[in-house]
Structure 1
Amino acid sequence: MANGSLLLVLISFLTFPLTFLLTLASHIVHCRRNRHRSAVAFFHPYTNDGGGGERVLWCAVKAIQDDRPDLLCVVYTGDHDASPRSLSARATDRFGVTLLAPPEVVHLDKRKWIEESTYPRFTMIGQSLGSIYLAWEALCKFTPQFYFDTSGYAFTYPLARVFGCKVICYTHYPTISLDMISRVRDRSSMYNNDASIARSGWLSLCKLVYYRVFGWMYGFVGSCAHLAMVNSSWTQSHIEQLWRIPDRTKRVYPPCDTSGLQELPLERPAETPNIISVAQFRPEKAHLLQLEAFSVAINKLDAELPRPKLQFVGSCRNKFDEERLQHLQEKAIELKVGGDVQFYKNVTYRDLVRLLGGAVAGIHSMIDEHFGISVVEYMAAGAIPIAHNSAGPRMDIVLEEDGQQTGFLAQNVEQYADAILKVIRMSETERLKMAAAARRRAGRFSGQRFDEDFKAAVRPILNLASR
């Protein structure tokens, strides 16, 4: 009897993987047979983050609705309070994008598997593998003809292809970049490389191996995309090196609200120069550097010049962002500039435009910012940009226009403080001249330009699949 039980256990153990794979294959075949042949589903688990990625989502939905009205547009979201009507209203109220019809909504219950808090260690690989599980839920609930990732979850692409979807993506920022690998190799401490690891040769070596293995995996899954759109020259360079599909990689600059912002007058109130900072309260946005630079500038300010104000405008995705915002408020008091710093959380689009229209300068300090939509928004609104001297701002945005300087690039607290003082010390004529050149430069990144380039990129995929 014991031998019979042991044999049963052994048979069960040996046949379980085969049974599981057969069940999995049967389920996928069922989903493929029931695939919605006239639908584009956008994988965007966070439809309330308020950042540039969400703007791209709504502009992409609108472009598809305009160019291919026969295709149903669906949004996969982990926000349970999202509805077709509320998302359509959010696109209009927060971003000024009016959809032709509310998108269908597929609610996801397993979003916790891509949340940073779920993976205290090995966050990058944890979130990436977790995204596969979340995409499984999404594709089982609704299997479209076209799977469109607008959030950068490349590990979901092979799965979407197994489900029979054409895979399109818009990549804002590579999950891992060659610059990140270089920083680990050089033992540089940053938001993606803890100081304790940077100080240890052994831990740095282990992390370097981890990054290189992950980089290879990322290159493989990314190569599964039928079309990869990227948002800047910097991102394109990294994606082409990692994914190795240059013929399927297209640069499409993100949609920036240049048309509406360009209607704002270039003249600004002289009594209080406002310096605005528009960014989500995330660690890589380096808000603390901006605050410290502002404090240094205040201490160096000429007595006869008006005292400026720094306005932080951003959204919070979770409790960690809320804690960062709270820390910034406390730090402003510690630096004795609490009365000169204002915080605006989760503002409406209308209020954002109002704040931009009153700013003489816009500050942005993320290292290797893939593009920098907020930098373009500063320029379009007539606020002189002060951006980090790297990646998108340096390669695509803050460049001369008709031989005229359009803004400032900086790398550390002192350089940012000097740039702030230069703007405040400018004569009105000099400021207007630079602001006008910056506004002309911003016109290169308009919503209309995105719409045209986006449609040109996706048409071959959409039309070929519909034949």
Structure 2
Amino acid sequence: MAICFILYTLLTIIFAVSLSLSLSVINARKSRKRAVGFFHPYTNDGGGGERVLWCAVKAIQEENPDLDCVIFTGDHDSSSDSLARRAVDRFGVHLQSPPKVIHLSKRKWIEERTYPHFTMIGQSLGSVYLAWEALRKFTPLYFLDTSGYAFTYPLARIFGCKVVCYTHYPTISLDMISRVRQRNSMYNNDASIAKSNWLSTCKLVYYRAFSWMYGMVGSCTHLAMVNSSWTKSHIEVLWRIPERITRVYPPCDTSGLQAFPLERSSDPPKIISVAQFRPEKSCIRLICFSLRPLH
């Protein structure tokens, strides 16, 4: 009797939770706003991804002024006006009007330090929880992910959103799987794992399972934009929706370069180029060279 009572209680709880979630989704779908919701939990990282965000907001404001632009962010000190000022001060992007802001309180579930092990799957599942909070607070007509959280796409579709994404770098790439299979020690493959045949086999199974899930959720997007040919080639293999994937190079500010005079002095200018120190790019470069005058 006790076991039957426990099973009955669990089934009742599961049914109640499912019913509650279903009602929440139905209500959210009915209350969808004619807006573009940008899922960008970190709006102060200062990188190229943030510039893409503000250029996308500006483009939508110019091409579709009837659509509101809403930013889902975990930065609680960010306001509509402060974000608009940041777009100008940091990136030189002048918005037609400040975007609306929806603050998220569950961002810790996508932070790397929350998952010492199985980080990829932890952050991916955590992003679903964060997106659930975002879409319950505000359900837009278009859900635009600019941070690479592909596991949020099925949820956004359940909420009735059209899903668009801009992918800078795949969460898992074919190169990462290859390094584990070849047992190469690198940023995504600890030396202790690379030296062990058993651990390498287990990790390879994990990576292949994750890549399959990544492909399933990625295929839920209605339109995928990628930032390079390299990313496009990997995403096409993993997501298997080549007809919905297009390459859109990230916007670069060339106004400073345009201000340079075409005529130069006889003294060759000195240029120093420093690459980002990021292990996943497999390069650390410090290049010093001189430009010789063209003849």
- Fold in common (TM above 0.5): yes
Match of 1:94 among 65, 90, 94: 90
- Name 2:247's counterpart in structure 1: 251
- Name 2:142's counterpart in structure 1: 146
Code of the residue aligned with 2:260 in structure 1: it is L
- Name 2:41's counterpart in structure 1: 45
Code of the residue aligned with 2:236 in structure 1: it is E
The structure having more radius of gyration, on CA atoms, is 1
Shift of 1:158: 0.1
- Name 2:60's counterpart in structure 1: 64
Corresponding residue SS for 1:87: helix
Q: 1:106, 1:210 → 2: CA distance?
A: 35
Q: 2:168, 2:252 → 1: CA distance?
A: 14
User: How has the CA–CA distance of structure 1 residues 174 and 6 changed in structure 2, closer, same or farther, with 3 Å as cutoff?
Assistant: closer
Q: 2:164, 2:75 → 1: CA distance?
A: 23
Shift of 1:264: 3.2
- Name 1:19's counterpart in structure 2: 16
Corresponding residue SS for 1:39: strand
Code of the residue aligned with 1:169 in structure 2: it is C
**1:103-122 to 2 correspondence within 5 Å?**
103-122=99-118
RMSD: 2.3
Shift of 1:109: 0.3
Q: 1:242, 1:6 → 2: CA distance?
A: 44
- Name 1:221's counterpart in structure 2: 217
User: How has the CA–CA distance of structure 1 residues 433 and 130 changed in structure 2, closer, same or farther, with 3 Å as cutoff?
Assistant: farther
Shift of 1:274: 5.9
Q: List runs of 5+ in structure 2 lacking aligned partners.
A: none
Q: 1:80, 1:173 → 2: CA distance?
A: 26
- The CA deviation string for residues 136-191 of structure 1, in whole angstroms up to 9 with x for no partner, is 00000000000000000000000000000000000111100111111111111211
Q: 2:45, 2:59 → 1: CA distance?
A: 21
Match of 1:166 among 159, 162, 165: 162
Code of the residue aligned with 2:43 in structure 1: it is T
- Name 1:29's counterpart in structure 2: 26
Match of 1:261 among 251, 257, 261: 257
Q: 1:169, 1:73 → 2: CA distance?
A: 15
Code of the residue aligned with 1:248 in structure 2: it is R
- Name 1:9's counterpart in structure 2: 6
Shift of 1:284: 2.5
Match of 2:279 among 284, 294, 297: 284
Corresponding residue SS for 1:261: helix
Corresponding residue SS for 2:25: helix
Code of the residue aligned with 1:202 in structure 2: it is W
Q: 1:213, 1:7 → 2: CA distance?
A: 35
Corresponding residue SS for 2:77: coil
Shift of 1:273: 4.9
User: Does 1:275 find its partner at 2:277?
Assistant: no
Match of 1:183 among 179, 182, 207: 179
Corresponding residue SS for 1:76: strand
- The CA deviation string for residues 350-369 of structure 1, in whole angstroms up to 9 with x for no partner, is xxxxxxxxxxxxxxxx32xx
Shift of 1:204: 1.2
Q: 1:207, 1:265 → 2: CA distance?
A: 55
Code of the residue aligned with 2:171 in structure 1: it is T
Q: 1:48, 1:261 → 2: CA distance?
A: 25
Q: 2:96, 2:87 → 1: CA distance?
A: 11
- The CA deviation string for residues 283-309 of structure 1, in whole angstroms up to 9 with x for no partner, is 427xxxxxxxxxxxxxxxxxxxxxxxx
Shift of 1:40: 0.3
- Name 1:126's counterpart in structure 2: 122
Shift of 1:8: 4.1
- The CA deviation string for residues 18-67 of structure 1, in whole angstroms up to 9 with x for no partner, is 2211111011111111111x100000000000000000000000000000
Code of the residue aligned with 1:70 in structure 2: it is D
Code of the residue aligned with 2:32 in structure 1: it is R
Q: List runs of 5+ in structure 1 lacking aligned partners.
A: 286-365, 368-387, 389-412, 435-467
Shift of 1:14: 2.4
User: How has the CA–CA distance of structure 1 residues 278 and 17 changed in structure 2, closer, same or farther, with 3 Å as cutoff?
Assistant: same
Corresponding residue SS for 2:66: coil
User: Does 1:234 find its partner at 2:213?
Assistant: no
Bigger mean CA offset, 21-30 vs 158-167: 21-30
Code of the residue aligned with 1:230 in structure 2: it is V
User: How has the CA–CA distance of structure 1 residues 66 and 271 changed in structure 2, closer, same or farther, with 3 Å as cutoff?
Assistant: closer
Code of the residue aligned with 1:191 in structure 2: it is Y
- Name 1:196's counterpart in structure 2: 192
Q: 1:120, 1:142 → 2: CA distance?
A: 31
Q: 2:232, 2:269 → 1: CA distance?
A: 40
Shift of 1:276: 4.1
Q: 1:177, 1:148 → 2: CA distance?
A: 22
Code of the residue aligned with 1:236 in structure 2: it is K
Q: How many equivalent pairs are there?
A: 294
Q: 2:88, 2:275 → 1: CA distance?
A: 19
Corresponding residue SS for 1:74: strand
Code of the residue aligned with 1:15 in structure 2: it is T
Structure-2-length-normalised TM-score: 0.93
Q: 1:32, 1:213 → 2: CA distance?
A: 32
Shift of 1:125: 0.6
Q: Percent identity?
A: 66
